[in-house]
Structure 1
Amino acid sequence: MKNIYVLILATFMLFGAACNKSFLEVDPKALQIEENYYKNPQEAFNGLVAAYDPLSWEGVSQYANFVVFVAGADECYSGGGSSSDLPYLQALNNYSISPGIGPQLDFWKMYFVGVARSNTIINILNNKEISGLAGEVKARYIAEAKILRAYYYFSLVRLFRNIPFYTEPVTSEEIYNLEQVDPATVYAQVEKDLTEAIAEGSLPDKVDAATEGGRMTRGIAKALLGKVYLYEEKWPAAASVLAEVNGTPGSANDTYGYKLLDNFADIFNPEHLHSSESILEFNHTATASSGWGNTSKVEGLIATTMLGPRSYKGSVYVFGWGGCPIIPEFSQLMYSDPRYQATIADVDSLVGLGEATYAPGYLNTGKFVRKYAPLLAYRPTTGGPPPLNYPQNYIEIRLADTYLMEAEALLESGGSATRAGQLLNAVRARVGLPAVAATLENIYLERRKELATEGHRWFDLVRWGQAATVLAYKGFTAGKNEIFPIPLAEMNNTKLVQNPGY
């Protein structure tokens, strides 16, 4: 079987009618598909692929992806050509985000499309007899769709907190009457979906990256469940399930196939997609030859272009939009760390050596994000425009992340400080750093350095209750900016209530 994201290209036109729809719109074509489709195993698989599809979206009407949270944290500024360029980054960099300004509509749309498609395939497989679809295959599809629905709802509840909630397909008459629910209701469903998927015997522990890279596994479900428990501050439960993912610190976990890579920089190299360190990875490809237009149809990693220096010419990199120049204080923090060169692209040094030129943009510092930078060696050379077709994947969860999450949960729950230290120091040992004491402060600092510019820092600061202090200089307001506003476009003629402060 081909990589599942390649199959998205074959099924996109069938399900694409609803891609650009708001949460509060029901497409009659989509309803007709649901009623008349799913007659054979291939069509059932196509429905599952459609539920996977939003994972790789880089936005809907603009570009909303992990880069937004990099600009919102204390690692980078927004960048761009001017203070009005890349407005979805500016809104988080200076916390001018409002119901009508910011990236929230794109996140809202793509995650609710994911929920709707997951609901549809789960409902179909549970209630419709599909000739030729083996029982164990059907069970696996349902388990995968439940993990997808859990991911989409987890993403929505931690971004917006107060969201509508439904687990069955809804009609156009019903959707305008949906009300927001207590976040606990959403978290309970996320836990339920993940625990049921984990218990399903047809769900594989791991898959062959070359043939099924990107498909949901029991290992992914457990890592995601551990992360969910962490956000709920269910510390013992988080530590327990993450321990199953992590195994012996620093050694390979044969059950799920996870192991820290020896070379830190290899994690983000396009030649090491779906490595042993990668747990939840979102695939992108240059083979789709994506073109300008609806960004949800783009199959490359647009984030790569967002992070490149403007009008760049020279060795190593390719030009981009100048997004997320590194904040000098963060660069200084990282400078003596072995991960510095794999984390920060020192473009000004190349200019000083006469190896490059570029046009400094807004809030330029001369240093840019290296992990997902547009590299000359991997610049697309065929098909559509290169800015839309970079082949890097985005890694949402990786093993060093789950090591540090488990270590944090252990200390918060009064668990084994010895194991917490082993987990923390396995991450450090990989890059040649000496062992340190297992304290929460050391774990916080290690997360900041190890996971820098990967989109996790903003969420960490919020869940630790540190965002209002650390990000005060950017305009972060306590009691407001911990969550996004409900998009203005979603408020009309509905029962939705705006989030506090907006």
Structure 2
Amino acid sequence: MKTHNIYVGILLTGFLFLNSCSKDFLEITPKGTSLEANYYKNEAEAFNGLVAAYDPLGAEVVVDYADKVGLLNTASDDCYAGGGAYGDRLTWEAWNTFTVDPIVGPQADFWGRNFTGINRVNTLLPKIDAVPDMTASKKARFTAECKFLRAYYYFDLVRLFKNVPLFTQLVPPANLFSVTQAKPEETYAQIEKDLNEAIPDLPEVVPTEENGRVTKMAAVALLGKVILFQNDESRMKEAADLFEQVNTSPNYELLPNFGDIFRPDNKFNKESIFEIVHTSLAVGYWGPWPPAGEGNIFTQMCGPRAYVGPTYVAGWGFNPINMDLVNLLKADPRYRYTCANIDSLTKATPGASYQPGYQNTGYFIQKFAPLKEFQATGAGDPVLMYPNDYIEIRLADTYLMEAEALVRANADLGKAQSYLDNVRARVGLASVPATLDNIYKERRLELATEGHRFFDLVRTGKAATALAFKGFTAGKNEILPIPYTELTNTKLVQNPNY
């Protein structure tokens, strides 16, 4: 199994994507290639290994441009693939039209990102206890972070592919070709096991210089989400109880202004539970593929092409917003923080213009838009250096997930109503009944273009209807094919109908 050679026992530590505004976290010295057997001799080396395990969270390029949010938007009814012309990025367009096959599509990017992370976790985990200059509490924390990360990577894999190999330790290269896929139930059980073991040893909060590292409530929230997404109605109260721990924590609150959630100058705000970090402080430049840097390339990708005018920087025209979503949001206060109406802006501004790209609607993603005020200056190519973070889990999301779980459990419906009301009241909207349909609609409006919609459609059984206009086929397109290269001379089996 090729898997980008990730199980050959060599750790590639690098200048990676776990960052904050802390100089210490940004200046992890690259170690190049170091034989795994000779590494992890002290705490600094163990920390480098931990940083390496976090690294794939923010990977913007794997095989192709591979931003997780952008690709998931592409597969949803929130956005189209876009770009300059048809086929600008074939991997994106294939998922946009559900013409993915084992060779063409984003599957190699998702497979490579997540199994790279899993390999790095499995490389570090058995070494932690033997590191001589670490305290017991620090060893426990590093171990917990590793288990959270392995759970996170496998949660993506099981939702994207369903049938994947389950690795909890390194596999000798000679044995890789005989590895088989685990049942989804086995993968989910391991995800839950890792999270349950991680939670006790994670901190409630981290100091500013450690922003980006996992906290206890991030793991609790992810565990609740893992249970919710398995659709076992007998466990909905269990999921709700986990979300309640997060939602009643004094460390989190809804921000008064919805638009402030996403600003790069407001990172790790009170609404953020688990945040994936990008920075403009590391120089980004083009060279051997993939390009260097730690910025959010998706921010460049989703900007309007050849734009000239106020506020925004020219981008590449990806993920234009579907008019169905635009029309749903137009009467909603979240509209202006979600949709950038570039068509109207350029028409109303003398001298302003942009180049409509493929599948252009005139509306672009505001939450991650390339704004002039955050464009990098100085060394490097600014298109590779946008500092926009991605909040993977935020409080409004956990409010709505708890409301959903309570309704599905037929438990505390008053509390479900309260959480739905809180999300709407934050933007000045009146109460609506806490039905599943209203909760799902609120998720779409609140979390629009943040990469949640495709998975929500699949898990609720609504994908075939909502995505019919894109060519979605039920019983096939809920998951991706196993990458073709992973099937060569291995015992892996292709997913149905591919």
TM-score of the aligned structures, taking structure 1 as reference length:
0.92
Once residues 108 and 323 of structure 2 are traced to their aligned partners in structure 1, the CA distance between those partners, rounded to angstroms, is 31
Instruction: Indicate which of 296, 304, 309 corresponds to 1:301.
Output: 296
Q: In the aligned structure 1, how far is the partner of 2:21 from the partner of 2:195? A: 20
CA, structure 1 residues 5+474, in 2 after alignment: closer, same or farther (shift >3 Å)?
farther
Report the equivalent of 1:482.
478
After superposition, give the CA deviation of every residue in 1:106-127 in whole Å (9 maximum; x if it has no partner): 110010010011111111114x
User: Residues 58 and 298 of structure 1 are in contact (CA less than 8 Å); yes or no, is this contact kept in structure 2?
Assistant: no
Equivalent residues in 2 for 1:58-457 (5 A)?
Answer: 58-65=60-67, 66-126=69-129, 129-200=130-201, 203-208=202-207, 210-233=208-231, 234-247=235-248, 253-254=249-250, 257-292=251-286, 293-295=288-290, 297-355=292-350, 356-457=352-453
The letter of the residue matching 1:473 is F
- TM-superposed deviation, 1:354: 2.2
C-alpha spacing 1:296/1:240, structure 2 compared with 1 (3 Å): farther
Work out the CA distance in 1 between the residues paired with 2:447 and 2:19: 30
Shift of 1:59: 2.6
Q: Which amino acid aligns with 1:271?
A: D
Cα distance in 2 for partners of 1:5, 1:489 equals 39
Per-residue CA distance 1:107-149 (angstroms, 9 max, x = gap): 10010010011111111114xx222111111111101111011
Deviation string for 1:58-94 (max 9, x for gaps)?
1312111211111111111211111111222211211
Matched residue SS, 2:31: helix
Could you tell me the TM-score, scaled by structure 2's length? 0.93
Residue 43 of structure 2: aligned partner: 41
For 2:24 and 2:182, how far apart are their aligned partners in 1?
A: 35
| Superposed CA offset, 1:250-302 (max 9, x none) | xxx32xx1111110000010111011101111000111111124337431001
Partner of 2:91, secondary structure, is helix
Letter in 2 for 1:286: S
Deviation string 1:451-483 (CA, Å, 9 cap, x unpaired) is 000000011000001001110110000000000
1:396 aligned counterpart, secondary structure: strand
1:51 maps to 2:50 = no
Distance in 2 of aligned mates of 1:12 and 1:331: 45
CA contact (8 A) 1:290 1:388 kept: yes
The change in CA–CA distance for 1:324 and 1:231 in structure 2 (over 3 A counts) is same
Pair 1:317–1:153, CA change in 2 (3 A): same
Matched with 1:21 is none
Partner of residue 9, structure 2: none
> Contact 2:397/2:443 (CA < 8 Å) preserved in 1?
yes
Aligned residues: 475
Counterpart of 1:13?
A: 30
Distance 2:22 2:220 in 1: 22
Which amino acid in structure 2 is aligned with residue 103 of structure 1? P
Gap change, CA 1:341 and 1:496, over 3 Å in 2: same
Does the 8 Å CA contact 2:117/2:153 hold for their aligned counterparts? yes
Q: Percent identity?
A: 50
**Structure 1 range deviating more: 462-471 or 233-242:** 233-242
Q: Is the 8 A contact 1:115 1:152 kept in 2?
A: yes
Q: Over aligned residue pairs, what C-alpha RMSD do you find?
A: 1.6
Distance 1:6 1:230 in 2: 38
Distance 2:56 2:31 in 1: 15
1:12: how far off?
6.8
Kindly indicate whether the alpha-carbon contact (under 8 Å) linking 1:324 and 1:369 is maintained by their aligned counterparts in 2.
yes
Secondary structure in 1 matching 2:439: helix
Equivalent pair of 1:4/1:49 in contact (CA under 8 Å): no
- Out of 351-360 and 173-182, give the one that drifted further: 351-360
2: CA distance, partners of 1:99 / 1:283:
31
AA partner of residue 98 (structure 2): Y
Contact 2:20–2:279 under 8 Å retained in 1: no
Please give the alpha-carbon distance, in whole angstroms, between the structure 1 residues aligned to 2:29 and 2:155.
24
Q: Contact (CA 8 Å) 2:20, 2:277: kept in 1 or not? A: no
Alpha carbons 1:4, 1:215 under 8 Å: kept? no
Q: Judge conservation of contact 1:79–1:322 (CA < 8 Å) in 2.
A: yes
Which stretch of the first structure deviates more once superposed, 38-47 or 426-435?
38-47
CA distance in 2, matches of 1:476, 1:461: 12
| Conservation of the 8 A alpha-carbon contact between 1:287 and 1:383 | no
Task: Give the direction of change, closer, same or farther, for the CA distance of 1:62–1:481 in structure 2 (3 Å limit).
Answer: same
User: What secondary structure, in the 3-state scheme, does the structure 1 residue paired with 2:144 have?
Assistant: helix
Secondary structure in structure 2 of the residue aligned to 1:345: strand
Residue 363 of structure 1: CA displacement? Answer: 1.2
- Indicate how the Cα distance of structure 1 residues 8 and 114 shifts in structure 2: closer, same or farther if over 3 A, else same: farther
Measure the CA separation in 1 of the matches of 2:29 and 2:41. Answer: 18
After alignment, is 91-100 or 458-467 more displaced?
91-100
Matched to 1:268, the amino acid is F
Partner amino acid, structure 1, of 2:220: K
Using the TM superposition, give the Cα deviation of residue 11 of structure 1 relative to its aligned residue in structure 2, in angstroms: 4.4
How far off is 1:177 after superposition? 1.4
- CA distance in structure 2 between the partners assigned to 1:274 and 1:110 by the alignment: 24
Aligned equivalents of 2:465, 2:236: Cα separation in 1: 24
The residue type equivalent to 1:382 in the other structure is: G
1:63–1:103 Cα contact (<8 Å) kept: no
- Paired with 1:10 and 1:88, the residues of 2 have a C-alpha distance of 33
Q: Distance in 2 between matches of 1:144 and 1:297?
A: 26
CA distance in 1, matches of 2:203, 2:150: 18
The CA distance in 1 between the partners of 2:291 and 2:421, in whole Å, is: 40
Gaps of 5+ in 2: 1-17
Distance 2:19 2:294 in 1: 16
Paired residue secondary structure (2:30): helix
> Of the candidates 449, 467, 473, which is equivalent to residue 463 of structure 2?
467
Report the alpha carbon displacement of residue 232 of structure 1 after superposing the two structures with TM: 1.3
